[in-house]
Amino acid sequence: MTDETTAPAPTAVSDDAAPAVSGAAPEWRFDTRQVHAGEYRDTPAGARIPPITLTAGYWFDSLDDAKGRFSAENDGLIYSRQVNPTGRVAEQRISSLEGGVDTILVSSGQAAITSALFALVQSGERFVSSASIYSGTRILFGRSFARMGVGVDYVWDPDDEAAWDAAITPETKAIFTETIPNPKNDIVDIPLLARVAERHGLPLIVDNTIASPYLIRPFEHGAHVVVHSSTKFLTGHGAVISGAIVDGGTFDWANASRDYPLITTAPGGRRSSLERAGRRAYAVTTREAVVNDIGPSLSPFNAFLVAQGIETLSLRMERHLASTATIVSWLREHPRVVSVDYAGQPGDARHELAQKLYGGRTGSVFAFTVDGGEAGAARVLERLRLISHMTNIGDVRSMALHPATTTHLSFDEELQRRLGIVPGLIRLSVGTEDVRDLIADLEQALA
């Protein structure tokens, strides 16, 4: 066990025998690890908080040392596009909370999804995704991925295993889904998708942005890779854009039925990521062969803000969840509210799954529909005073948005209809303000 006051500064890569987390004992509970995981003792100043390391590059001790680092035959930092000590604190903290073997911090949630899939899928290949996902992710898949020759096949009923089986072809290289989709809160049965992935020998990638590891840890339900827009709940203060890719270390790349050449092969007689890193092969590949090449690295200053935000994750989530339960119950009884989309509420089509996976607490981002269509939604949004009319979610500030004319504006009417984006629908992200003030604001806006 490494004592948190004497843990060494993190390096670029550690072998399988090394602990996944420095600065935290494995037996410590979630609330303790969110504060201490990844931290190290600063020298020579002895600062209690790991400092912001503002540097592009790092000293090499010798020619052999430089060669060893570039050949990945020894640990050591090379360039901050790949690894930075400040970013490593946040990475190890996220690994600890999700239960993964390593994390790569990047510049946004979109960069996390892109990098996570680019490590697995090449031009001419495909992946399968649940249909109800964040609109920006759908746009990413349909525009930029398509331009790169990577295809996606959508499954509209995530509970239909036969539909998943039918969507998977020899060209399929991964399965993608979200724990709590935005804005409809139509949660996904992760264990079911894990069974499908195992049956077909595919890695399962799960976006856990809205749930966060406080509500669910997808690795415990059979996922292999977890991604986050850490802009949202992980960081929580709305001051920084960032993303994270977490490797669960559980997929058997050596015996996979499909070819993943970035992970299992290496040019020029070098050892492959799998040979060098074992369970961490996917993380090492994603960092070295995708993030390092494309360059969506996160600045040390922003990484510092991510680590700071994570320290209060559980405290914030409890307020988010408690306030959401109160607001959902209040909205359901309001005469101007047609419906509320929240899987945690009794009577919802996915309430049983919500109870099984989340104890009935399915996050704090959901949708409600008001009467009067788009004009009715406009009247509500334009009258809000406390709740911010803006894009983003997962902030300490409550936010509301009209998906049909913003996030889903580029989708045609048929696609909007299938996704449940009706004209009167409003997305609400419940913050940490006093719930009585939030209800008062909603009440005057709905009056």
Q: What is the CATH number of the domain that holds 371?
A: 3.90.1150.10
Tens-digit pLDDT profile for residues 403-438: 999 999 999 999 999 999 999 999 999 999 999 999
Which of 310, 327, 357 terminates a domain? The answer is 310
Other CB atoms within 10 A of residue 383 CB? 15
71 lies in which domain range?
Answer: 30-310
Any domain includes 66: yes
287 and 254, same structural domain?
yes
Any domain includes 3: no
Tens-digit pLDDT profile for residues 113-128: 999 999 999 999 999 9
**Res 14 pLDDT > 60:** no
Tens-digit pLDDT profile for residues 155-181: 999 999 999 999 999 999 999 999 999
**Res 205 pLDDT > 90:** yes
**Res 212 pLDDT > 80:** yes
Placement of tokens 């001051």 in the chain: 239
Crossing angle, helix 300-310 and helix 85-98, to 10 degrees? 30
Which of 272, 292, 310 terminates a domain? The answer is 310
Higher pLDDT, 6 or 270: 270
Count of domains forming the chain: 2
Other CB atoms within 10 A of residue 54 CB? 12
Tens-digit pLDDT profile for residues 352-403: 999 999 999 999 999 999 999 999 999 999 999 999 999 999 999 999 999 9
282 and 216, same structural domain?
yes
**Res 318 pLDDT > 70:** yes
Q: What is the pTM of this model?
A: 0.93
Q: What is the mean pLDDT of residues 15-25?
A: 48
Which of 288, 310, 332 terminates a domain? The answer is 310
**Res 135 pLDDT > 60:** yes
Residue type, 42: D
77 and 186, same structural domain?
yes
